[in-house]
Structure 1
């Protein structure tokens, strides 16, 4: 009897199709992960006044709703690379989605659930913050600029849509902010369904010949600290603006809906810069000029918010979004470009984000204190402007072409080995 097995050519044609399907599933899952990085955070500021009213929170305590996740970023970033080595890169990112889903859904139950859910959200997002650059290094090393830009773009889309739509959703549902913020957990479910099939056992990952750097070794690298200051101060500015920009505009005479839309526009306007900055940076030998350019854009926005916030609010938030979107994407692509392997990228990302977010965590709280102390916004925005100048100086230094292991090795007499 003649064999009914398909000819070799047919078998060969199936393999590339399956490989392509797996590749596009990986890309889709990766981008859906990025889409879930910010909605759990950006849904809070537009309804912060309602949260304060419902739970009787002072401004400084309300600022903790943004500060607590950043503290979680700092703590968890230090151990996320270890977690990835223990349970696998893909499994750790699935854990991120589960934690953010649970934290998002429970926050409206009561005061304890509000802060408990905020902790879960912060822990989950911290895992993804650290590991997404490692995913780029492992799966897309020759498209680092493009994939970093795409995941920053999707992160910005998620942030902007969530910020702009939460207040309208609260009105449409008729159940206020608890339901409107919890609804964004649906995005986590969609991402989990898409990402879960891409899981791979940790043991299947090939060991790379490039040495893995631990924190003790990275701490000897000036480059690692330059990246840390650059990303830390960028995050300080971002989370301070995320928390207080709607309040600034409402104090200037705008209503809550307008202020929420402006926050959404700030995130939305950062998308073009988030997409293009990593692609441009990947083609450049030195990225210092990009950091300096972002200084001028961000400084113009902050000066406008300091002196005449209601005069041209759309212009100020567009400039602010371009500056912040470009800066965070530049920081993340520099983590990829300044490391030689997936493991180095994860460890460097962990240090940069653990120390950087420790620096950033106090930003919303300090801005709230300065606002309470001064009764206005000139002093808080001036504080952010000073931080921006220091941030760009660190970025200009980190933009010089070298790798983090060579940087530390040269400074300390070959301690890392080759």
Structure 2
């Protein structure tokens, strides 16, 4: 029963409409070797790695005409010297048994122990702590147990430690190698000659290792705390010492950048110079050096950029642009393409010289302007009128001596200074540099 039956509507009341047939969806089959959950997570996408069933890897291609059987056949191994004949199961293809040496004989490795003669022992190897019988027995056991000195020390007849056995074996081998060589340089690269065995160092190493292994958990935590505290103290000392050493970390032979370095021209003592011409960027450079040392790992180009900014921080925007323009005129890149140590050193030195040149040019321009103003004042102004520029400058302490007196017995210079309003006029015309209006005459004048 459906909705039409409940409402009493015949099922074929409405004309049937031809519905567009939808193409069937292509169902993707799950590849072999992938679980259903993993395949659902991928959304049906192709796997990044090819999914291959493990069983397919174990299968070996077999030709149709091959007939494989297993037979119980004898074999001998080249690793044995007694030619012992044993049996094992062998895979036989088409009735032809495999030939060749035993497959596991290649894993039989032995140590080449140096042998010595009686004459060599009497001439080179005599030792009061060792007899010839003990030395012969040591070398035989070293060849038998492949230099496993722990096993040799356990089976050695006399009470000898592992370090003593090692020292005797390696010292004898080294002496024989040097004695048999035509010249000492022929065996200089041999491991036994290049790195001789050190018995005392080996004992100290084992003692330190035993001491570390015998530490309790409380001692291990204490050691970790001591190491962390030592690390903090070292970093604090580096931070304190960093400002005291402002030399560049990337170039050891170049001092801190600045226009008033030790080799530059000392700044003038005249207070009339602008404050931007006398700078001291050593502190900024020191802070940059300290930050770079805290980073420990940085690019040399990044360090060069930071040091250039620190050196030009107090120079002003116009000075920085003039430096860049000078570099452009010289055909030098603002940033070196290959920032090697030598290139960065030359780049920093060039910028320092350009800043020094600009500083000297500013001083020269100021001195020329000052001389011009003095020459103009000497020709255009009377002796009793001080120049406007000299009033603001440091020449205020110069004593003025008038050359002429007024009609009333007063000095003209003094009357000029006492002038308060526009109704009084000086006898001398005003200086054209000051551009003052002429005063009106009084009746008393």
Q: TM-score, normalised by structure 2?
A: 0.17
Structure whose residues are more often helix by fraction:
1
Q: Which has the larger radius of gyration?
A: 2
Q: Which has the higher contact order (CA 8 A, sep 6+)?
A: 1
TM-score normalised by structure 1 residue count: 0.18
